[in-house]
Amino acid sequence: MSQPSMPDAGMRYLDLRGFTMGTHWQVQCYADTKFSSEELQTGIQAQLDQVVAQMSPWEFDSDISKFNRASGNTWQVLPEDFFKVLQHSLFVAEQTQGAYDPSIGHLANLWGFGPLGKVSTTPDAPAIKHALDLTQWRQIRLNADNHSALQPGNIHLDLCSTAKGFGVDQVARYLQDSGIKSYLVEVGGELRGLGCKPDAQPWWVELENLPESSSPVCVAALHGIAIATSGDYRRYFEVAGHRYSHSIDPRTGYPVQHGVASVTVLHPECMIADALATAMTIMGLEAGMRYAKQLHAAARFIVREKNGYSQHMSPAFLAMMEEDLDE
């Protein structure tokens, strides 16, 4: 990886913040004085608003909501960005044999993690089976020539595990196209950084940890690298003392119970890191680590044990941490 360059003389530090996708975003950067903070704020928000307009199932008029309501066996022309995210999501679904599934919308709603709102009781077996019958990524077809996708009938896409990472990437591209070479972008805990600060230090960030975990703190230098974390502690509900997280296994229809509390993935693209973190969380430690090794992906797993937590790192993650320590 190339060494990060220093901000040009005359660059000023900006700290911009806003709201998107049900969470907060923040951009720290060094920008030329020709840019006003208001101009950059508006430009960044526009990038994120476009992701919401295309891929938020919470918005009735979004492109994904229109796809979900479309008649069965019809081809729907999608915006380029939406098509790109769906295409990658189906690729990960194929690689993981359905451990990751972008057609999980019915299951997400059934368990109270979709736009229909929260639930106070667990769904019954017939309802889960019905939602599983409608979770069928293999039935979705794509036509790259005109960016269209086949709606097989009552398939509900949910790209929330990928779209937020894509939004981070879009903001990063917008900043770079604007000539900004030193930045740190965050959207709801997903990050991407480039360049360094005037003191020649890169953008150091602390990897997300469980609130109650005593796992060692890990920090990473983000120069052309993004970070995404999937964890069962972010969104969940409890019934009779039992926790049900939003990490739903689309192969069984139930939230995972294998003990993996979080997975953090580092990758040049946040969209890819986002999807991989979700997939590896669903797969569990053993299968998820095999997948990480197969892809040479930098991944860290935190697993709940009887007496606390254990931390497991892929070879690529260990190598990246050692590289950062050597800098």
d(CA 172, CA 46): 13
Whether 72 shows a pLDDT value over 60: the answer reads: yes
Q: Two tokens at 242? A: 């039992």
* Residue 149 placed within a domain: yes
CATH number, domain of 133, equals 1.10.3980.10
Question: What is the SS3 string spanning the chain?
Answer: CCCCCCCCCCCEEEEEEEEECCEEEEEEEEECCCCCHHHHHHHHHHHHHHHHHHHCCCCCCCHHHHHHHCCCCEEEECCHHHHHHHHHHHHHHHHCCCCCCCCCHHHHHHCCCCCCCCCCCCCCHHHHHHHHHCCCHHHCCEECCCCEEEECCCCCCCCHHHHHHHHHHHHHHHHHHCCCCCEEEEECCEEEEECECCCCCECEEECCCCCCCCCCCCEEECCCEEEEEEECCCCEEEECCEEEECCECCCCCCECCCCEEEEEEEECCHHHHHHHHHHHHHHHHHHHHHHHHHHCCEEEEEEEECCEEEEEECHHHHHHHHHHHHC
Decide: 52 and 25 in contact? Cβ < 8 Å. no
> In which band, very low, low, confident or very high, does the pLDDT at 167 lie, cut at 50, 70 and 90?
very high
Percent of the chain whose predicted confidence (pLDDT) is above 70? 90
* Residue 176 placed within a domain: no
Least confident of 33-47, 200-214, 256-270: 200-214
Helices 270-295 and 80-95 pack at an angle, to 10 degrees, of 20
How confident is the model at residue 239, as a pLDDT?
A: 62
* Residue 161 placed within a domain: no
Mean pLDDT over the full length of the chain:
91
Strand partners, 24: 19
What range defines the domain where residue 94 resides?
62-155
Residue keyed to tokens 């800098």: 327
* Residue 238 placed within a domain: no
> In which band, very low, low, confident or very high, does the pLDDT at 235 lie, cut at 50, 70 and 90?
low
The torsion angle over the Cα atoms of residues 254, 256, 262 and 267, rounded to 10 degrees, is -70
* Residue 99 placed within a domain: yes
Give the CA count within 13 Å in the CB-facing half-sphere of 236.
Answer: 18
> In which band, very low, low, confident or very high, does the pLDDT at 173 lie, cut at 50, 70 and 90?
very high
How confident is the model at residue 9, as a pLDDT?
A: 62
How confident is the model at residue 321, as a pLDDT?
A: 82
d(CA 106, CA 122): 14
Number of domains in the chain: 1
Q: How many residues does the chain have?
A: 327
Q: Please count the other Cβ atoms lying within 10 Å of the Cβ belonging to residue 308.
A: 11
* Residue 298 placed within a domain: no
Whether 304 shows a pLDDT value over 90: the answer reads: no
d(CA 79, CA 55): 10
d(CA 15, CA 27): 6
* Residue 16 placed within a domain: no
d(CA 90, CA 82): 12
How confident is the model at residue 91, as a pLDDT?
A: 97
Beta strands across the sheet bearing 142-143: 74-77, 148-151, 142-143
* Residue 48 placed within a domain: no
